[in-house]
Amino acid sequence: MMIRINLLPVRAKVTGEKGRQILVLLAFVLVAAAAGNFFWYSDRDDVVQRQAAGLNATRARIAELDKTIGEVKNINARKVEVEKKLAVLDELRRGRNGPVRMLDALATALPKKAWINTFAEERGAVKLIGSAVSHDDVAELMRNLNSMVWTPKGIGRLVEQRKEAKTSRVELIAAEVAIEEFPVGDIKPFFSNVDLKSTAAGAAPSKPGAVPTVDFDISLNANYAI
């Protein structure tokens, strides 16, 4: 006689235990996944917050630099404006002093036996009409006009200017030391393009014992920017 054992209740119990284990495992996985997502999101949020803070700091720095650049531009603009005003003042100073110095140089260049009858000037172009006792006096006047210069120590005559030399020798008109050397850049000629247009014998002397004269016509350019 065969004995039969009913295993259905055991199988049902085992199956129930496995189901509970699977549910517990599934719940653990879900909890772990939720915790992982939370920590990942929190880390990403911290990164975003740090990046946003860095971006705001960069924007603040850019705004500060823009302000500084604006101030520098204003300073440069004011500097340019001041330089223009100084240039105008310097031009006015030269316009005031230049003609006086030029006439002083002309008087210095004029030999004792020569004189100016007519002086005409227009935009720096000068026309001199005068007389001299002899042609030698006219030649001396031409040499003097070509050699009259302005130096940091006043009016002088250019004595020697060597080719490609950095300095030139000048005979100062009013100074204790008669001749000095100056850098070429410090020497400014009073007159340029000095041209003897014509010479002619002057009118016959009207008085007994008067010396005959030589009339001359000279053109030149005067440098007022001294």
Element of type H or E holding 117: strand 114-122
What three-state secondary structure class fits 208?
A: coil
Q: Stretch 1-27: mean pLDDT, rounded?
A: 63
- Write down the pLDDT at residue 134: 92
Task: Assess whether pLDDT exceeds 70 at residue 51.
Answer: yes
Going from N- to C-terminal start, the domains of the chain cover 10-204+211-226
Q: What percent of the chain has pLDDT over 70?
A: 81
Q: What's the distance, CA 61 to chain centroid?
A: 31
Is the Cβ–Cβ distance between 149 and 156 less than 8 Å?
yes
- Write down the pLDDT at residue 115: 92
């599934």: which residue's tokens? 26
The total of other beta-carbon atoms located within 10 Å of residue 93's CB is: 10
Name the CA dihedral angle for 58, 64, 66, 71, rounded to a multiple of 10 degrees.
-170
Side chain identity, residue 135:
H
Is the Cβ–Cβ distance between 145 and 126 less than 8 Å?
no
Q: In Å, what is the CA distance from 101 to each residue of 7, 57, 126, 217?
A: 137, 64, 15, 22
Pick the closest to residue 194 from 157, 220, 224 (CA basis).
220
- Domain 10-204+211-226, what fold? Gyrase A; domain 2 (3.30.1360)
pLDDT digits (tens, 9 = 90+) for 173-208: 876 668 888 998 899 999 999 999 999 987 766 666
What three-state secondary structure class fits 119?
A: strand
What three-state secondary structure class fits 200?
A: strand
d(CA 48, CA 115): 94
